[in-house]
Amino acid sequence: DVRDMVVPDEWHLVISHPSSVRVHWRHAALGEGFYTINGFFDMRSDTQYFAAPFETLTITWDLQRLCLDTVRMYSGWNLISIPLRCPRPYADFIFGRRFYGPYHYDPVSKTFFIPNFVGMGRGYYVYSARDTILVFSGVRFPRYKSDIFAGWNLLGCPSFSVDTASIGVIGTWILGIFELDSTGSYVVPDSLRPGKGYWFLVPNDGKIYVPR
């Protein structure tokens, strides 16, 4: 309960178990503002977090000044990410009826789906009927942390460009990164750019830090 509290505020959860622990929550339980685990993990991006043995989780709640950013959309399919942490991360609110999608990829079931929420560090396919500009309102984020799974993972970029050499992983390694360019071709990028989505191929389950 965040009523009558002064922002920013923190809660500390100590994992006293010798093996990985699944921490889960409901989006509906998160009130106004931004909720982050250990400064990397956006709690609106998912409903679970796999904590390491004896890990201490710092959950931060904050209300920050909003800024604007844009993503260029080309006619046809676009592979994008959210360049800001949006205070209202509902897919219907952000994309409305102007676009088809967004589609995210579940690396466990290996299926595409339309999420109710969109969040930082995720990649999305969005179809646009014409060239246009998509405007976002939110808070910039310099990095993110995410669980990744063996096979293909659809991820995004923080609010600032990231050299691919500065991406860190634990428990696995990166076999390839691919970007969809404006011609509809997949290319290997030297860096991740805000607003773009990327396919990551890894051989094992693990965690990724963008940047490390």
Mean pLDDT of 147-171: 97
The predicted model scores a pTM of 0.75
Mean pLDDT of 134-163: 94
d(Cα 155, Cα 152) in Å, to the nearest integer? 10
CB 191 within 8 A of CB 162: yes
pLDDT digits (tens, 9 = 90+) for 92-138: 989 988 899 999 999 999 999 999 989 889 999 999 999 999 999 88
Predicted confidence at residue 212, as pLDDT, reads 85
d(CA 81, CA 87): 16
Q: Which of 30-34, 82-86, 133-137 has the lowest mean pLDDT?
A: 30-34
Pick the most confident of 39-43, 53-57, 84-88, 103-107. 103-107
Q: What are phi and psi of 195, to 5 degrees?
A: 90, -10
* 2 pLDDT more than 60: no
The token pair at 23 is 């921490």
> What pLDDT score does 5 carry?
63
Between the alpha carbon of residue 210 and those of residues 27, 73, 150, the distances in Å are: 24, 24, 18
Residue 210 has pLDDT above 80, yes or no: yes
Q: What percent of the chain has pLDDT over 90?
A: 59
Q: What is the pLDDT of residue 200?
A: 98
Residue in the structure block whose two tokens are 């965040």: 2
Contacts of 29 (CB under 8 A, 6+ apart): none
4: pLDDT strictly greater than 60: no
pLDDT exceeds cutoff 80 at 44: no
Question: Phi and psi (nearest 5°) for 172?
Answer: -160, -170
Mean pLDDT lowest among 71-75, 96-100, 184-188, 191-195? 96-100
Bond before 102 cis per omega within 30 degrees = yes
pLDDT over 70 percentage in the chain: 97
Extract the tokens encoding 81: 């990410």
Q: Which residue has the tokens 């991406």?
A: 167
Nearest CA to 43 among 91, 85, 93, 102?
A: 85
Q: What is the Cα–Cα distance from 100 to 128, expressed in whole angstroms?
A: 7
Say yes or no to pLDDT of 166 above 70. yes
Report phi then psi at 165, rounded to 5: -70, -15
* Model pLDDT, residue 182: 87
Give the alpha-carbon dihedral of 122, 46, 112, 117, to 10 degrees: -80
> Rounded to an integer, what distance in angstroms lies between the CA atom of residue 23 and that of residue 41?
12
> How far apart (Å, rounded) are the C-alpha atoms in residues 70 and 200?
24
pLDDT of residue 100: 94
State the residue for tokens 């969005």: 126
Contact between residue 144 and residue 92 where contact means Cβ atoms under 8 Å apart:
no
